[in-house]
Amino acid sequence: ELDYPQRLNCAAELLDAAVERGAGERIAIVGEHESWTYAELQRRVDRIAHVLRADLGLVTGNRVLLRGANNPMMAACLLAVLKAGLIAVPTMPLLRARELTAIVDKASVDAVLCAASLRGEIDAIAALPRHVVTFNDPDNPASLEAMMARHPVPFAAHACAADDVCLISFTSGTTGIPKGTMHFHRDVLAICDCFPRHMLAAADTDIFIGTPPLAFTFGLGGLLLFPMRAGAAGVLLEKLTPDTLLAAIEKYRATVCFTAPTFYRQMAPLAANYDVSSLTRTVSAGEALPLATREAWQAATGLRMIDGIGATELLHIFISAAGDAIRPGATGKPVPGYQACILDANGQQVGPGVIGRLAVKGPTGCRYLADERQKDYVLDGWNLTGDAYEMDADGYFYYRSRTDDMIISAGYNIAGAEVEEVLLRHEAVAECGVIGRACEERGQVVEAHVVLQPGFEPTEALAAQLQDFVKLQIAPYKYPRSLRFIDKLPRTETGKLQRFKLRAT
């Protein structure tokens, strides 16, 4: 089924093919100030592709760094880079000059397309690439828009090989230096033909919405590639909050939502203030979905959450479940096209009920850009995601923790997520993160960092109450012997808890 021709341009397959199929007058992308049909998007993409090739003189294989928030022009730039046979290097809007410098260097970036509002950190890079062009920059005569106006349509898609690299995506780096991962034209189509097809049954009537940045493959797939492959619409909005996302779901009558568990947890109590009845599928990824969050969301909206684990290395979601196949507590089963198993420390497969290292094989896989960690991630064709998982007899996969976050206390293995799960059920707890703190006597002790709901005071009495609350619900040796109250959990731009920062406090 995932059989693609040897000559392939993924942007042409997503965009030109949609127009040829007659989707030209349908809405492709909706932004805060504009909405473009497939034909309008195609005209912009073609003009940008001409600018890249003709004005900037970029040639096949050149790398183009993209910097912008989620909006239609950022999407057009991304597609144009792919259509012109160049390599897109999308970057997170919050990155600073220091991090951008490392990316420019590591990915050998040849040109930069940057939203005018985010230009500052680019200009602060010491060794700037040859070309830096701004977009969403109406008053600038040298802007991308001004250059686009001088070019005709169409632009003939560059005939790439299916296994030409088209995307270099950097991991969010929850622990250290971000790693660049390379993906092919065919990988981009493969993710569209796996998760959204089998788990969402995406159709051209769908309207996708959500928070993840286009620079994060979760957002790139969920808000741009998946809708296009289905001939549907993607809503791209900047700076969303739980309230503004709910308002946008109501306004645009969105049917599919992609965001992280913490966002769903914050949206659940607010959902009653909005009409979100258009939603039929909501997808949670990026972090483990706590049962308390699944239940709160379902109670608020009637929707059964579609959990899915994805990774930048594998491009998108590879284990998930939807509809009646959902098992609360489990992430799901391998998405059709992928295989998964659990390995022990020696790389041997283990059976149901044993916690081990998650290993995944499928149409997409890890290719680090000049990184010696490739051999740690891929073993005999199996991708080791760094997650501790367990399988049941029916082939469902259950997340336990990140392999290196497993807490070992007095000889017991304790998964922080299980303790978080319980704490999140207490009315005083807004958010929490549980880590292992080094301790002479026990090796590590379980330590909880708790953000309180408004109206609760961080007292010793409340800490003791929370500790007792955990002891009553799971094995007492798992309770947090140390409990600290904090105002805010440290998170990456993609919403992931930065446990290493909690450990450093």
Q: What is the CA radius of gyration of the chain?
A: 23
Residue span 160-189 as binding mask against ligand 3UK, x where in contact by CB under 6 A, dash where not: -----------xx-----------------
* Shortest Å distance, C-beta 217 to ligand 3UK: 4
The span from the CA of 237 to the CA of 253, in Å, is 14
**Among 255, 301, 312, 467, which residue sits at the site for ligand 3UK (rule: CB under 6 A)?**
312
> Using CB under 6 A, which residues numbered 438 to 497 contact ligand 3UK?
494
**Among 311, 330, 424, 435, which residue sits at the site for ligand 3UK (rule: CB under 6 A)?**
311
Cβ contact 237:31 at 8 Å? yes
> Using CB under 6 A, which residues numbered 190 to 219 contact ligand 3UK?
217-218
364 binds ligand 3UK (CB under 6 A): no
Helix (H) or strand (E) holding 35: strand 35-37
Q: HSE on the CB side for 354, CA within 13 Å? A: 12
**Among 38, 382, 397, 399, which residue sits at the site for ligand 3UK (rule: CB under 6 A)?**
399
β-partners of residue 368 are 181
Angle between helices 38-50 and 72-83 (to 10 degrees): 60
**Among 31, 210, 286, 436, which residue sits at the site for ligand 3UK (rule: CB under 6 A)?**
286
Cβ contact 49:82 at 8 Å? no
91 binds ligand 3UK (CB under 6 A): no
Cβ contact 135:68 at 8 Å? yes
426 binds ligand 3UK (CB under 6 A): no
**Among 187, 387, 418, 421, which residue sits at the site for ligand 3UK (rule: CB under 6 A)?**
387
- Measured from the CB atom, is 59 or 94 closer to ligand 3UK? 94
282 binds ligand 3UK (CB under 6 A): no
- Residue at token pair 């500052």: 120
Q: Which residue is nearest to ligand 3UK (CB)?
A: 310
263 binds ligand 3UK (CB under 6 A): no
499 binds ligand 3UK (CB under 6 A): no
Cβ contact 28:18 at 8 Å? yes
Cβ contact 421:399 at 8 Å? no
* Shortest Å distance, C-beta 318 to ligand 3UK: 9
3-state secondary structure of 45: helix
3-state SS record for 280-311: CEEEECCCCCCHHHHHHHHHHHCCCCEEEEEC
* Shortest Å distance, C-beta 477 to ligand 3UK: 24
Residues near ligand 3UK, by CB under 6 A: 171-172, 217-218, 285-289, 307-312, 316-317, 331, 385-387, 399, 402, 494
